[in-house]
Amino acid sequence: MIEAQEGLDWERWRRIVADAERLGLAALRVSDHCQSLMGVEGRRSLSTWVALALAAEWTERIQLGPMVSPMTFYEPAVLGRTALAVDELSGGRLIVGVGAGWNAAEHERFGIRFPPTWKERFDRLEEGIRRIRQTFAGRDVRFLIGGGGQRRTRTIAAREATEWNTGAPDAGAFGAMSAALDARCREIGRDPSAIRRSLMKGCIVGRDLDELRWRAGEIAGVVPPPRLTGEDADAILDSARRRWFVGTPDEVAAQMRPYAEAGVDLFLLQHFALDDAASLELLAGEVAPRLAAAGRR
Task: Name the 3-class secondary structure at 69.
Answer: strand
Phi, psi (5° rounding) for residue 46? -110, 155
Give a yes or no: residue 238 inside a domain.
no
> What per-residue confidence (pLDDT) applies to 295?
59
Name the average pLDDT for the chain: 95
pLDDT band at 210 (very low <50, low <70, confident <90, very high): very high
Domain count, the chain: 1
Give the other-Cβ count within 10 Å of 250's Cβ.
Answer: 11
CATH number at residue 107: 3.20.20.30
Cβ pair 168, 177 in contact under 8 A: yes
The answer on pLDDT for 297 being more than 90 is no
Q: What is the pLDDT of residues 119-163, one digit of tens each?
A: 999 999 999 999 999 999 989 999 999 988 878 999 999 999 999
Q: What is the pLDDT of residues 219-237, one digit of tens each?
A: 999 998 888 998 899 999 9
For residues 12-23, one letter each, b for 16 or more C-beta atoms within 10 angstroms of the residue's C-beta and e for the rest, the string is bbeebbebbbee
The answer on pLDDT for 84 being more than 90 is yes
Give a yes or no: residue 91 inside a domain.
yes
Question: What is d(CA 31, CA 65) in angstroms, rounded to the nearest whole number?
Answer: 9
* Higher-pLDDT residue of 255, 296: 255
Give a yes or no: residue 229 inside a domain.
no
Give a yes or no: residue 64 inside a domain.
yes
Give a yes or no: residue 228 inside a domain.
no
- Rounded mean pLDDT, 56-75: 97
The answer on pLDDT for 296 being more than 50 is no
The answer on pLDDT for 68 being more than 50 is yes
Give a yes or no: residue 130 inside a domain.
yes
CB burial of residue 287 (10 Å; 0-12, 13-18, 19+): buried
The answer on pLDDT for 61 being more than 90 is yes
Q: Domain containing 182: what range? A: 10-204+246-292
Cβ pair 259, 294 in contact under 8 A: no
Give a yes or no: residue 134 inside a domain.
yes
Which CA distances in Å does 219 have to 52, 142, 224? Answer: 24, 32, 9
Give a yes or no: residue 233 inside a domain.
no
Determine if the pTM surpasses 0.75. yes
